[in-house]
Structure formats: C-alpha cells, structure tokens
Amino acid sequence: MTKPRQHHHRFIIGTILLLLSLDSAPSISAHFFPNITSIPEDLLKNTTANPWGFFQQLAGCHAGKKYDGLAKLKHYFQYFGYIPNSLSNFTDVFDDNLESALQTYQQNFNLNITGQLDDQTVNHILRPRCGNPDIINGSTSMNSGKTNNTSSSHHIHTVSHYSFFTGRPRWRKQALTYWFLPENQLTDEVKTVFSRAFDRWSTVIPLTFTQTDSIYEADIRISFFAGDHGDGEPFDGVLGTLAHAFSPPNGRLHLDGDENWFVTGDVRTSAVTSAVDLESVAVHEIGHLLGLGHSSVEESIMYPSISSRTKKVELASDDVEGIQTLYGSNPNFNGTSAPPVQERETGSGSGGAHCVHSRWGLTGLIMASCLAFLLL
C-alpha cells in the first residue's frame, strides 16, 4: 500500500473514532417550554422534585452529633470543592471537616458564618446551581480566598469578586464559533436563546461568536445530556446541578436535559415550580467558557446559584470587570453597564427538542460511508 493511501486510511479511521467518541454519552431530548400554555398538564402535577431536597431535614444539626444523611451532605460539599478529594468513607457524624466546609461555604455566599446548618444555610444549599466547583484544588477567588474586610458581624464586605481558572486561561483569538450537538435537534427558537447569551458577552469584549454546523470548525460545543455522560460530572435530574462548562480552550458546555427549560416569556410566572430560565444559565456557563470562575457577588451572572423561576441575564459590573481583565473592552462598549440585548424574532417552531432513540442516525450514515470508501 502506498504512503498516500496509508495516510488516507488513517484519516478515515481517525474520523470514525472521533464520531464514536462524540456519541459515547447518550444524547437526549430536553424539555423546552416556549410559554406557559405549552407545559403538559401532567408535569404541572409533579413539579417538586429536587435531588437535594433531603437536606431540608438536616436543618438545626450541630457539631459533634450524629444525624442520618450527613454523609450525603459531605459528598455534596466535596463535589463543589469544600471538602478535599483525599477524604472518603464519610460518616453521619457532624465532624470538624463538615463544620469547616460549612464556614467556608457561608463565607463564599455571604451568609452568617456559624459553621452550623441553620435555616439560612440549608435553604441556600437547596438552590439549583452550576455544576462547576467553587474551590479547585483548595484554591478559590470567592470570598474565602480573600482576606480583606471582615467585620465583627461575620459578614463579608468586599467589592470585586470575579475570579478565573488556575493559570488564567483565555481564548487567543477573537472570532469564535459554536456548534450544537445535532442529536439534540434544537429548534431555531432555542438556538436563538444561546445567540442572545453570547451577544451579552460580545457587547463588552472584542470577541465575536458565530454558529457553525461543523464540529471540526467549532471552538465551542453545546450539548444536552442526562445523568452520567462520560465527563466525570454526571447530572442529577430536575434541579440540583443545571449545567457545567470547561475553561478555555476546551470549549465544552453541557446542560442537563432533564431540566424543565423555559425558553421565552416570563419564567417568574411559570406554573412549574422547577422551571429554569435557559438564557440565564447559558449566560453564566458562557462566562466559564471564556475563562471566568465563580463570584461571591450575588447580583453577578457568575454567582453559582440561581433559583428556579428566576431570570438573570444582565451582566453586572463585577462580570464586566472580570471579563475585560481577560480580553479588554469592546471599543463600542459605553463603559458603564451592559446594555440589554434585543430579543430577535424567531420562527414559531414547536419549542421542543425531539427524542433520539438511537445513536446511529446521521453519525451512523457518515461512518458507513467512511467504511465503504475505506474498502474501495
């Protein structure tokens, strides 16, 4: 076999392996609701699910005591970086590690620093949130990573709390492209939500974002998955962790396909108590894609938690200062606050993604073609 032929075959095999890797996790249909009238009646009757709802009964627990379920809470804190990964075999004893984790968590989220599971803290733990950890390898730029301005009332009073990933990774080009997993079969209406979310960032920095249909050209890859999807950060169903994204230049943004995503209209009036505003989550996760970590400023987009039936899409000054530290300012930015992004007209569509029962759709056809060509 000649060398050109060998290289050709290697390219075809590489393409097949890449396509297989993209399908290593099951892609699913997500639940999108364009308006209140589109919500199925059976869903309205079952809207209270929360994977962390069990923690509600732990309110009032104190150090030194044993309570059923504290081991699960320790796993929660370990997942988000508050307990070192070196620790395992958790028990239901309220030990020093849990007390320390609680104090750090309370400090990061501007709560009363008590080290106890008071009602204020438990109610905050129950909030849906981003799946990215607040503390990575013991390091954070949220409140607990800063030493200035603590008061006798145990509240934190600081100004800027934007943070970055370790090493401050950033994109080294200004024109970025993004791609949607075809198996999710997102409507134009849903894609427009992401377009608006990207526009909010490009308003304040000199970066542009353009959709592409080619994964080979894409810098950013957006997918909806459910449960374990192969990246070591499984989703947990309705509420809980909503999405997660990776730092530059990885470019992966994963959203939980089990959430009840609200696409248009006022999510605050949704009859579904578990309704999550898609644009609000997308703007936050894009911040991670661009290199921002979590912030302790509750008004900021990069604050880790967002309650259901809440819309928060406008960049706060903390977000603007942080992202401009990485990329500089858009020459057309007015320098005060991020102006609102105009909503674009979209087609009627169904507002929902369609379930794909098999992974061997378009990908299967491409693979079959490659194999046939390889055998020529």
Domains annotated for the chain, with CATH where assigned, are 3-19+360-374 (no CATH), 24-46+165-327 (3.40.390.10), 53-125 (1.10.101)
Nearest to 367 by CA among 1, 64, 104, 13: 13
CA 253 and chain centroid, separation: 7
Which amino acid is present at 27?
Answer: S
- The number of helix segments (H) and strand segments (E) in the chain equals 9, 8
In a 13 Å sphere around the CA of 147, the CA atoms on its Cβ side amount to 0
Contact call for residues 247 and 18 (beta carbons, < 8 A): no
Which amino acid is present at 315?
Answer: L
* Helix or strand run (H / E) with residue 262: strand 260-262
Residues of the chain with pLDDT under 50: 1-8, 10-24, 36-37, 44-47, 148-159, 338-375
Would you state the structure tokens that stand for residue 183, as one six-digit string? Answer: 């198996």
Nearest to 172 by CA among 283, 320, 284, 327: 327
Read off φ and ψ for residue 249, nearest 5 degrees: -100, 25
pLDDT of 265 reads 87
pLDDT of 255 reads 98
**Alpha-helical regions (H) of the chain:** 3-22, 41-44, 70-79, 96-108, 119-125, 188-202, 278-290, 317-327, 362-374
Query: Do you find a cis peptide bond into 26, omega within 30 degrees of 0?
Result: no
- Taking the C-alpha atoms of residue 51 and residue 119, their distance in angstroms, rounded to an integer, is 18
Contact call for residues 328 and 205 (beta carbons, < 8 A): yes
**Residue 188 among known ligand-binding residues:** no
**Residue 130 among known ligand-binding residues:** yes
**Residue 259 among known ligand-binding residues:** yes
Contact call for residues 327 and 290 (beta carbons, < 8 A): yes
- Taking the C-alpha atoms of residue 217 and residue 278, their distance in angstroms, rounded to an integer, is 25
pTM: 0.79
Active site residue 285: yes
Contact call for residues 325 and 165 (beta carbons, < 8 A): no
CA 214 and chain centroid, separation: 23
DSSP state of 357: -
* Helix or strand run (H / E) with residue 121: helix 119-125
Would you state the structure tokens that stand for residue 278, as one six-digit string? Answer: 């898609």
**Residue 277 among known ligand-binding residues:** no
Nearest to 216 by CA among 6, 5, 15: 15
Using DSSP, state whether 36 is helix, strand or coil. Answer: helix
**Residue 244 among known ligand-binding residues:** yes
Nearest to 301 by CA among 253, 348, 337: 337
pLDDT of 134 reads 95
Would you state the structure tokens that stand for residue 81, as one six-digit string? Answer: 């970086």
pLDDT of 129 reads 98
**Residue 229 among known ligand-binding residues:** yes
DSSP state of 292: B
- Taking the C-alpha atoms of residue 227 and residue 265, their distance in angstroms, rounded to an integer, is 28
Q: Name the catalytic one among 217, 285, 298, 299.
A: 285
**Residue 284 among known ligand-binding residues:** yes
- Per-residue pLDDT of 78-118, as tens digits, reads 999 999 999 999 999 999 999 999 999 999 999 999 999 99
